[in-house]
Amino acid sequence: MADLKDRTIELVSKGYRFTDRLLGPAVRPGSARRAPMRLLGSPTLVVRGAEGVRLFYDTDRMQRTGAMPAIIGGGLFGKGSLHGMDGEAHRNRKAIFVRAAMDPDALRELMADARREWAAYIDREWVAGEGGTVYDAAVDVYGRSIMRWAGIEADEGTLTRLSRWEAQIVDGFAVLGPAYVLQKVRRRQCDRWFEEHVRRARAGEVPVRPGSALDLVLAHRELDGQPLSDHLAAVEIQNVVRPTIAVARFAAFLALAFHEHPDVRERVSEEVLARGTTVDGPYATAVAQEVRRYYPFVPVLPAVARHDLEFEGARVAAGDRVLVDIFGTDRDAEHWHQPDRFDPERFTGEGADLAWSDHFLPQGGGRPETGHRCPGELVTVGLLALTAAELSRLEADLPEQDLSYPLDRMPTAPGSKVRFVDVRRR
């Protein structure tokens, strides 16, 4: 690429809308699909839309090794984790996550546990208590459920504390200031706790449930036949649980969507009454998917070109970075009708297939079995649909609060985290 302006400061300062300055507004049909620039001093091409997604997830042309800046990737995923791997080594280790997160029986167990957690939390903390925020509730509910499901044996207080620490790791990984410092502290604390748990599990001092994510991590062998070190095993078991805890941000956005679209909440409630369960409702699932499309979560993802190539007239040299515009693609008028409108109907009926399209990638694109797409996506959608169903059965007041979410802060969430008071069951 030519000698272009470095846009690193703009990425940090503009956040989710950073790519609009290069590609044009995400809601304008016919917007440019790519833009060259520099990031952290290196030539970089930003791509948006289905063609850009297909380029980004083409493992013959793109690799992840060396793509994520260490200042971000090390704090969020951990050094040596799956996220920076490629080829057969990546497929070999990713098998842990695919087997753990995409097994239908295991998913049913997780949803049943999360349903019990939501019921108990709502009654204890909200109905009998003084209310609270949807985000904080989801961190505790998702965290305790996913860690039990993953095979982490500990008392409820420990699971709650770890869940909140992992949430703080996500909260501060891409910001400047106190949240970033706290993220570093929590990362060290979590690494120490999980590494000690792995050591004790291997020594037979704590139980390991057969078939659990922890069991799969401990039994895993790399291509050279060696097991993961205690530290790397601790890193990867956290990479099973932390992304699920991060879904608490979507839970807060879901509550915001219900507040702004009461007709959507009412339809979910009617579905729950008709089906007699809060699990796996088709319309609740469509709501979960639209929440993931409409609200900001992952802004961009990086890869590195394996060899010289050309994309829509732009030259990319081997070793150049390519960024796929996640937020812009999910709100792109080239692919979505009225993309700035919250409309779960787009994911109903035949629209349910949109969940696997190349222009829908809130947590990555491609196929999870063979590429870099998050294998925990089924967990995310299931938990959000369950949360939609549980919240739809409540009456609550929302006191005056900050429901805005800054697009220059990554990751973002409603400022008040959506606070409920005077909660009643319908």
pLDDT of residue 89: 66
pTM of the shown model: 0.92
pLDDT of residue 367: 60
Stretches where the chain sits below pLDDT 70 are 1-3, 25-32, 70-86, 89-90, 92-94, 97-98, 100-102, 366-375
pLDDT of residue 3: 57
pLDDT of residue 308: 97
- The 3 state secondary structure assigned to the chain is CCCCCECHHHHHHHHHHCCHHHHCCCCCCCCCCEEEEEECCEEEEEECHHHHHHHHCCCCCEECCCCCCHHHHHHHCCCCCHHHCCHHHHHHHHHHHHHHHCCHHHHHHHHHHHHHHHHHHHHHHHHCCCCEEHHHHHHHHHHHHHHHHHCCCCCHHHHHHHHHHHHHHHHHCCCCCHHHHHHHHHHHHHHHHHHHHHHHHHCCCCCCCCCCHHHHHHHCECCCCCECCHHHHHHHHHHHHHHHHHCHHHHHHHHHHHHHCHHHHHHHHHHHHHHCCCCCCHHHHHHHHHHHHHCCCCCEEEEEECCCEEECCEEECCCCEEEEEHHHHHCCCCCCCCCCCCCHHHHCHHHHHHHHCCCCCECECCCCCCCCCCCCHHHHHHHHHHHHHHHHCEEEECCCCCCCCCCCCCCCCCCCCCEEEEEEEC
pLDDT of residue 29: 61
Q: Show the domains of the chain with their CATH numbers.
A: 8-425 (1.10.630.10)
pLDDT of residue 386: 98
